[in-house]
Amino acid sequence: MSEETTLTPRTEKEFEYDRKRAARGMRKQVAAFAMMILFTFVAFAAVQAGFPANFIGPVILLLAGVQVALQFYFFMHWDEKGSGTAQFFMYSAILVAFTMVLTFVTIIWWGE
Amino acid sequence: MDYNTKHTPHTWPKHPETASMEGKNKVTGFWLFLGGETVLFATLFATYLALKDRGPSGMKFSTHELFELPLAFIMTMLLLTSSLTSVYAMYHMKNFNFKAMQAWISVTVLLGLGFLGLEIYEFVEYVHKGFGFRQSAFGSSFFTLVGTHGVHVIIGLVWFILLMLRNAKRGLNLYNAPKYYLAALYWHFIDVVWVFIFTVVYLMGVM
Amino acid sequence: MSSLATEKKGFGAMIWEYLTTVDHKKIAHLYLVAGTMFFVIGGIEAMLIRIQLAKPDNDFLSAGLYNEIMTMHGTTMIFLAAMPLLFAFMNAVVPLQIGARDVAFPFLNSLGFWLFLLGGIFLNLSWFMGGAPDAGWTSYASLSLLSPGHGIDFYALGLQISGAGTLISGINFLVTIINMRAPGMTYMRMPLFTWTTFVASALILFAFPPLTIGLFFMIFDRMFESNFFVHTMGGNTIIWEHLFWIFGHPEVYILVLPAFGLFSEIFATFCRKRLFGYSSMVFATILIGFLGFMVWAHHMFTTGLGPTANAIFSVATMAIAVPTGMKIFNWLMTMWGGSIRITTPMLYALGFIPSFVAGGVTGIMQASAPLDYQLHDSYFIVAHFHYVIVGGVVLALFASAHYYWPIMFNQMLNETLGKITFWFFFIGFHLTFFFQHFLGLMGMPRRIFTFLPNQGLDFFNLLSTIGAFMMAIGVTLLVINVIITAIKGEKAGQDPWGDGRTLEWAVPVPTPFYNFKQTPLVRGLDPYWIEKMEGNKEGMVYAEPLSDIHMPNNSILPFIISLGLFISAFGAMYHQETTWGLYVLIGGIGLSVLAMIIRSLKDDHGYHIHKEDLMDDKGGNV
């Protein structure tokens, strides 16, 4: 409601420190990105190589899950303080989402 | 502290997106919205999985022959990279470097446009082959799932472009910082959904 | 812009004020009026149903018309009456209860209302434009795809629009409760109505997207030639059933949890005692919310999902009885040893406990899958869910109408008339629905427009109809009560019940549009009671010195956004048979998008009420 937020200017030392921290954080982001690219490449390569489906299926789903976790925790800043509410509601959503997908691959009455 | 206060890098807060009450509300609300979106996409994924390869008797389309991995791979790379470029944009936003932020968002938009172009090309190809929205349950569910993602891409691009144009002259302040931050979150979420689309629809479709 | 400037106004200015308002108290009025309007429409439909079923072989309504009325009764009551009326009380009370000056997103609050209202109007326009939907409120795809005319289109498009409004309101309340609580108002000091609003809003957040998608599939299948449910094209109608109930079951808890919250407030106030087992109440609320998502398939036991699925959902359903039972016992224990005042709201609360327990017990019966094969689609089900919805939600709405009337309108409804209303409604309710249990057990199926004589169904059906008339008399008395009170115009003043415990009773009445001159400091559960007990005449301690207050500007854009979608819905419906349909569809959406872009490009910083004006302003408690 009120936009009155008191901001105290940072001192030169704090400022330098924050800058360095942010730059270090950015390196972490790039590392996360490299991992995502790697996972994507592995997933595509595994499918292209034609390994048995029962094996690749779970593996690429796992890779997708890890990749998404990297997006959430690094790109979308879940590693920072104050993201608890976001995490709680997203995990709840993921639970509902999982239940729904499970339902639709098991009990929708395909008579086969 | 007023919204229109001119800031310097020193007075710029560490978390400009949540420095005002309004920004704080927006970030919380947007995360909740993304929670709803997660369920929404789960519904579309679930329906796709249920209707995959289903059609009128004698339908000649199946995921195995329809999807082409090289195209999906290029689209994935474009979108993944655009996710990183928007991270760079937010890095500069927090450093109060307006020009660099706008530049990185422009790169993001270009990559997004590339993705969108390939997606449109793909859809047109399928329709040419006779695999459309109206011809089978498989088609309906495929185009709805991937198309809804495409619509999200379009909304994200329009959002970025509007933000860049609107604020080009006046630079960063505490009123528009949360807006940029949310647009970037939205873009990441689009990427998250795509990760599952390329895995579940394309990779698991051809394996 | 300032509401201060619009204090004196003509009728036109008042309409404009309500069209553009972003004040949660005024939006509460809007929800109350619109919800009541739809409640009366749904009630008239109910009366028509009961008149038709008063005697065997009746021809008061034709079979087709009966289907339309029955469908619209259910849809209207759930989506357009019960939920908006709950939103009315949430808007009126929750920001005050947590010590906030407004909701988190005042603009979205207004948008949510207008989407709901225009969606509801769209749905009801079907009566005048070629026939209402007729496939039941569940609108199972196998039936609704084949329904001729535009009835089902009205259903799908209308619910889509009003559902979007509900989702927006849900997110708004969540953020309000997460971010806007006054200092000291920790989660475990929040009044129970705020807690239940919070959990119900979370359910809205996760339950409405499946409905949205389901409705889109329905719209696409009926109007854009897709094949989600068309089995000859590879579609599957069970998908609709799942999507509908993944939404539909949480929906029941979206309705009943706020009702629980309202009763919790009423019990504590009129027993003049702290709510018994506060933390277990909170825990039970969350648990019900969680389990509410894991039980939807109990509506589909007879669909043929297989014994494993049925067993899992059966057990999960029975588990819900545990937290619900905790709540019932907590209310009873609150009364135990309390110094009880039997006011009208308290009377409703007392009537609620046995009624809702009866509805809960029949719920457990149906949770047993083998027995459900007997009960499914019979009047037993009709009796069950009316015991839950009327015995739980509607009683709560009537109770809160009396309880919160002074907060919303600065007047007290007549107590004597209120008690007479209660007895008519309560006896009528049990007369109507109690005997429907037996009708169901005797084999009378639901959703039929008539029955044969001499099968033992005649008498109970007649009783049921008589009961329905008594309920109608009760509702009429309530309306008369409102009119009498409005004409009398006696002011109620602050805390007219004398036993208010929570912050909504601590603000001056009529409540200034900024709610709190100074943000209150909350020192425990039931903050107003604490201050009263410590002899604090002001009723509040403050967390901040008097300073400028920032307020949002009014805006017409929410109405325009909603109007655009309303217009585009007509385009979607008629685009196959007319040439203009497609243009109307695109034009309507274009209007909405344009309004959104204006909203996004135009800076809206709101305005400030200055400290000096606050001090001049009379009626505050400083």
- The whole-number pLDDT of residue C509 equals 85
Distance between alpha carbon C313 and the CA centroid of its chain, in Å?
Answer: 26
Yes or no, beta carbons of A76 and B185 under 8 Å apart:
yes
Averaged over successive runs of 10 residues, the pLDDT of chain C (622 residues) comes to 51 91 95 97 97 95 96 96 97 96 95 97 95 94 92 96 96 96 95 97 97 96 94 93 96 96 97 95 96 94 92 95 96 95 97 97 95 95 97 97 96 96 97 96 94 94 97 97 94 91 92 90 93 88 88 94 96 92 95 93 85 66 36
End-to-end CA distance of chain A: 58
CB contacts < 8 Å between A and B, how many?
147
Name the token pair of B38. Answer: 């997660």
Q: pLDDT tens for residues B154-190? A: 999 999 999 999 999 888 988 899 999 999 999 999 9
| Within a domain: A19 | yes
Q: Residue A110: list chain C partners with CB under 8 A.
A: 236
The answer to whether residue A104 neighbours chain B at the CB level (below 8 Å) is yes
Quick check: B12 and B96 in contact, CB under 8 A? yes
Q: Residue C176: list chain A partners with CB under 8 A.
A: none
Report the percentage of chain B scoring pLDDT > 70. Answer: 98
How far apart (Å, rounded) are the C-alpha atoms in residues C417 and C335?
24
| Nearest chain C residue to A93, by CA | C206
- The whole-number pLDDT of residue C8 equals 56
Residue B19 DSSP SS3? coil
Of A2, A99, A109, the CB nearest to C304: A109
Boundaries of domain holding A29: 13-80
The amino acid at residue B41 is F
Q: pLDDT tens for residues B132-157? A: 999 999 999 999 999 999 999 999 99
| Within a domain: A107 | no
The phi and psi torsions of C447 (rounded to 5 degrees) equal 65, 25
Yes or no, beta carbons of B133 and C230 under 8 Å apart:
no
Tally the C-alpha atoms within 13 A of residue C343's C-alpha that lie toward its C-beta.
Answer: 25
Yes or no, beta carbons of B20 and A5 under 8 Å apart:
yes
| Within a domain: A97 | no
Question: Tokens 């509506």 correspond to what residue?
Answer: C299
Yes or no, beta carbons of B36 and C205 under 8 Å apart:
yes
Yes or no, beta carbons of A2 and C102 under 8 Å apart:
no
Going by the DSSP 8-state scheme, the letter that residue C504 receives in this structure is G
* Domains with residue ranges and CATH for chain B: 17-52+66-206 (1.20.120.80)
Burial of C224 (0-12, 13-18, 19+ CB in 10 A): middle
Q: Residue C236: list chain A partners with CB under 8 A.
A: 108-110
Yes or no, beta carbons of A22 and B94 under 8 Å apart:
yes
How far apart (Å, rounded) are the C-alpha atoms in residues C84 and C77?
10
* Residue stretches of chain A with pLDDT short of 50: 1-3, 112
- The whole-number pLDDT of residue A11 equals 84
Higher pLDDT among residues B36 and B5, named by residue: B36
C331-357 burial by CB neighbour count: b if 16+ within 10 A, else e? bebbbeebebeebbbbbbbbbbbebbe
The C residues from 298 to 337 touching A (CB cutoff 8 Å) are 303-306, 309
For residue C178, how many other CB atoms are within 10 A of its CB? 18
The C residues from 189 to 218 touching A (CB cutoff 8 Å) are 202, 205-206, 210
The phi and psi torsions of C445 (rounded to 5 degrees) equal -75, 155
Yes or no, beta carbons of A104 and B46 under 8 Å apart:
yes
Yes or no, beta carbons of B69 and A94 under 8 Å apart:
no
What's the predicted TM-score (pTM) here? 0.95
Residues A67/A68/A70/A73 CA torsion (nearest 10 deg): -170
How far apart (Å, rounded) are the C-alpha atoms in residues B159 and C42?
41
Q: How many domains does chain A have?
A: 1
C87-C176-A5 Cα angle (round to 5): 150
| Nearest chain C residue to B136, by CA | C233
| Within a domain: A95 | no
- The whole-number pLDDT of residue B3 equals 66
Of C105, C236, C214, C124, residue with least CA distance to B27: C105
Quick check: B29 and C172 in contact, CB under 8 A? yes
Yes or no, beta carbons of C227 and B137 under 8 Å apart:
yes
Q: Residue A49: list chain B partners with CB under 8 A.
A: none
Q: How far is B196 from chain A (nearest CA, A)?
A: 6
Q: How far is C94 from chain A (nearest CA, A)?
A: 16
Which helix or strand (DSSP H or E) is residue C46 part of? helix C24-52
Q: Residue C239: list chain A partners with CB under 8 A.
A: 104, 108
Quick check: B202 and B72 in contact, CB under 8 A? yes
DSSP string, C242-305: HHHHHHHHHHHHHHHHHHHHHHHHHHHHHTTSPPTTHHHHHHHHHHHHHHTTS-GGGGGGGG--
Residues 6+ positions from C566 with CB-CB distance below 8 Å: C118, C119, C121, C122, C161, C588
Of C33, C175, C107, residue with least CA distance to C604: C107
Q: How many helices (H) and strands (E) does chain A have?
A: 3, 0
- The whole-number pLDDT of residue B1 equals 47
| Within a domain: A89 | no
The answer to whether residue A44 neighbours chain B at the CB level (below 8 Å) is yes
Quick check: A63 and A43 in contact, CB under 8 A? yes
Q: pLDDT tens for residues B12-33? A: 888 888 888 889 999 999 999 9
Give the residue from B48, B138, B141 with the most C CB atoms within 10 Å of its CB, the best one to mutate. Answer: B141
CB contacts < 8 Å between A and C, how many?
44
| Within a domain: A33 | yes
The A residues from 17 to 36 touching C (CB cutoff 8 Å) are none
Q: Residue A108: list chain C partners with CB under 8 A.
A: 236, 238-239, 242
| Nearest chain B residue to A103, by CA | B46
Rounded to an integer, the average pLDDT of B55-65 is 90
* pLDDT beyond 90 at B34: yes
| Nearest chain C residue to B3, by CA | C605
- The whole-number pLDDT of residue B10 equals 84
Rounded to an integer, the average pLDDT of B77-88 is 96
How far apart (Å, rounded) are the C-alpha atoms in residues B187 and B82?
8
The answer to whether residue C607 neighbours chain A at the CB level (below 8 Å) is no
Yes or no, beta carbons of B84 and A96 under 8 Å apart:
no
| Within a domain: A104 | no
Q: How far is C204 from chain A (nearest CA, A)?
A: 12
| Within a domain: A86 | no
